[in-house]
Structure 1
């Protein structure tokens, strides 16, 4: 990844329009549908309802990031914070400090329904996300790259 001003590749606030609790296959997982307030995007997301309880009508801020570091990744693919991280929590604090719910996964597919509308798909250990909307808002989301999903209820 090239040097940039942030490791956040997408962020927006989503109004939750539906939560599917009836079709779920796992006791602690539901699937939400939301529409973004700023970029006219649609998102479907599987999430753990015990760790992150939400209801229809809530607003949730969602960010996608290439790293949890607050410092951008350098041109050589390294980050100063990554070298200082410690498992005891005494290293630098990252983006996760600003959110309530974090998942790590991989972007595994892109679909183009029109020349401007794109859907990105990511899997977070089997919990799935699809994000649809204008391709210009997803230019920094890269197929095959690992990604962090960070969320907080507003």
Structure 2
């Protein structure tokens, strides 16, 4: 779908690679299966614990509306189905940094803040071409 910006299966490689900084937050280091992307992701480990070796599906989307219409970013309770119904952990954030791939490594990198919880996704620039600076997006995760 057009509102799906990135989707892959990741495997947790390490937890808190720089040491534990917060009681309820864990920084995971993960590698994707299909696109060979590298990721650092801060998650609320009290709500959604992950362990080394565990696999999870990750989706970055511009809206939670199943029909692809724009999303306000506000939670609207009710009987309406949403993309979030198929996932276990959802965050809403803003993309604040994009670096284009260049040089020997030629890796692109995007950084997103979810209210202070950060995500960095690094890899082939072709997998980052749907992203724009200041873009609002949803991160959705489910264990596989």
Q: What is the TM-score with the length of structure 2 in the denominator?
A: 0.89
5+ residue gaps, structure 2, are none
Q: 2:88 aligns with which of 100, 110, 132?
A: 100
Matches within 5 A, 1:77-88: 78=70, 87-88=76-77
Return the match for 2:26 from 23, 30, 33. Answer: 30
C-alpha RMSD of matched pairs (Å): 2.0
Distance 2:118 2:88 in 1: 18
1:123 corresponds to: 113
Larger Cα-atom Rg? 1
Partner of 1:136: 126
TM-score, with structure 1 as normaliser: 0.84
Question: Which secondary structure does the structure 2 equivalent of 1:96 belong to?
Answer: helix
Give the CA deviation at 1:112. Answer: 2.7
- Selected match of 2:135 from 142, 145, 149: 145
For residue 140 of structure 1, report the CA deviation from its aligned partner: 1.0
The alignment of Structure 1 onto Structure 2 pairs a total of residues equal to 141
Structure 1: gaps spanning 5 or more residues: none
**Secondary structure at 1:109's aligned position in 2?**
strand
Equivalent residue in structure 2 for 1:60, among 32, 56, 63: 56
Tell me whether 18-27 or 49-58 shows the greater mean CA deviation: 18-27
